[in-house]
Amino acid sequence: MLKKFQIINSEFKNIRIDKWLKINFSLINQSYIEKNLRKGNIKVNNKKIQSKYRLQLEDEIKIYNYSDDIFLNQPSIKKKKLIPSKYDDLFNSHIIYENDNFIILDKWSGIATQGGSKINISVDDIIKGKSEKYNLVHRLDRETSGLLIIAKDLETTKYFGRLFKNHLIQKIYIAICQGNPKNTESTINILIPDKKNPDKKSNSSTKYKVIQTNNKVSNIIYNPLTGKTHQLRIVSKHLGCPIIGDTKYNNQNKYKFEKLKLNAHLLKFEFDKNTYEFTSKIPEHFIIFFKKNNLKKISSNDLKTIL
């Protein structure tokens, strides 16, 4: 019997196919998985894959020899992580909009969106503590502050997934960079290495505009037209003006003790025939840096020039 599944939960993005199978079907073991992947009884997007294949959102898994006896659909119950009250309070205080379908969080710098081996508490942990139905629909780096969308149900998760996939969400980031780009306004198309496999690269496209420069520091707004890991940080380095506070892509020492000066500042999209637009509150460490370096605070008129 053929059974189909689709990956729509961001919790399963980048998880290995063998791990996904073990999570969802408690009776099967690794040797059974390897055997059926090899025979093509389990495929992803109609292709034979290896157990190390990492799932992506919208991937379709087909199990051709499915039976309720073997593929016992009894997912292991994930123990909820105990969330300290200070994180719950921080989360609640950074919600800038909420309705029955989604939450807009103005994420603070220093918290990861998803868990990992060196991460104690993430935004994903916090929202799962509120409801197992809540899902992240995109991510921000741990040190990047700004707007994050959280879907409250499966349908909304799928809806935002389609918006991101079809580039129907407008996003603007603000960044303070070390150095001055050659051109004050342009669109940059470069290859971005895959996070898991650096030898694999994919196309990225980013619009940018320099709002002000002073003392070899640039105030830049970015409009990413694609959504690759570390895209804006890599583009900034490519332009010869890495983002201040970026310990991975900025090897200059002058501002090495500064927090990352990257903020996911504006989101605009349509939902249920209504247009929504949100802006992040510029972090205090940005404002202090603006004043120290005689840079002006970016205005709403500045943002409109790049949309």
Q: DSSP alpha helices (H): ranges in 108-172?
A: 123-130, 154-165
Asked if 109 contacts 101 with a C-beta cutoff of 8 angstroms, the reply is no
- DSSP, residue by residue, 248-279: TT---STTTTSPP-EEEEEEEEEETTEEEEEE
Alpha-carbon distance of 216 to 240, in angstroms, equals: 11
> Is 69 noted as a catalytic residue in this protein?
no
What letter represents residue 196's amino acid? K
Q: Which of 59, 124, 141, 246 is catalytic?
A: 141
Alpha-carbon distance of 199 to 295, in angstroms, equals: 39
Asked if 300 contacts 279 with a C-beta cutoff of 8 angstroms, the reply is yes
Q: Is 207 exposed, middle or buried (0-12, 13-18, 19+ CB in 10 A)?
A: middle
Alpha-carbon distance of 194 to 33, in angstroms, equals: 26
Alpha-carbon distance of 286 to 175, in angstroms, equals: 9
DSSP 3-state assignment of 169?
Answer: coil
- Among all residues, which ones are annotated catalytic? 141
